[in-house]
Amino acid sequence: MSYKKIILVDDNPTTIFYNQDVVSDFCPGAEIMAFENPIEFIAAYGESLHKEEEAMLLLLDINMPLKLGYEVLEELEETHDNLDNLHVLMVTSSNLRNDVEKSSRFLCVVGYIEKPLTVAKINKVLNGF
């Protein structure tokens, strides 16, 4: 699947810098938005992103100090009726089974990727979607 908009949410600026290169290789020409602060992402989603008609890919870090990735998704589900256009890949530095189980309860989550992100990992997860 090709995406016109890809969103990165990760509290580490170095990780965002690296992941921007990876996703630009994965989907050349896509608009890439990056947020180090999950609260700023939630606000941006509420202001305009939820109105997008085409599917967007969100790469969401699980462990962040201001809000966990799961808390971000819970807030989006509470404030928006429809997240059908949002496809979420949960990204983490751990491979805890509990993280995978938690991510499966959100309908918008299409997969789980362990850092470091690569084009091959994205393709592998999305090919199963």
pLDDT computed for residue 1 by the predictor: 72
Q: How far is CA 102 from each of CA 1, 39, 48, 60, 127, rounded to the nearest angstrom?
A: 25, 20, 27, 13, 21
Structure tokens at 70: 């799961």
Q: Is the pLDDT of residue 22 over 90?
A: yes
Average pLDDT for 47-66: 91
Q: Is the pTM for the entire model greater than 0.95?
A: no
- Cα 126 to Cα 116: distance, rounded to the nearest angstrom: 16
Q: Is the pLDDT of residue 129 over 70?
A: no
- Cα 119 to Cα 89: distance, rounded to the nearest angstrom: 13
Q: Is the pLDDT of residue 97 over 90?
A: no
- The stretches of 1-129 forming alpha helices (DSSP H) are 13-26, 38-47, 69-79, 97-103, 119-127
Lowest mean pLDDT among 9-18, 49-58, 89-98: 89-98
Structural domains present in the chain? 14-115 (3.40.50.2300)
Average pLDDT for 107-119: 93
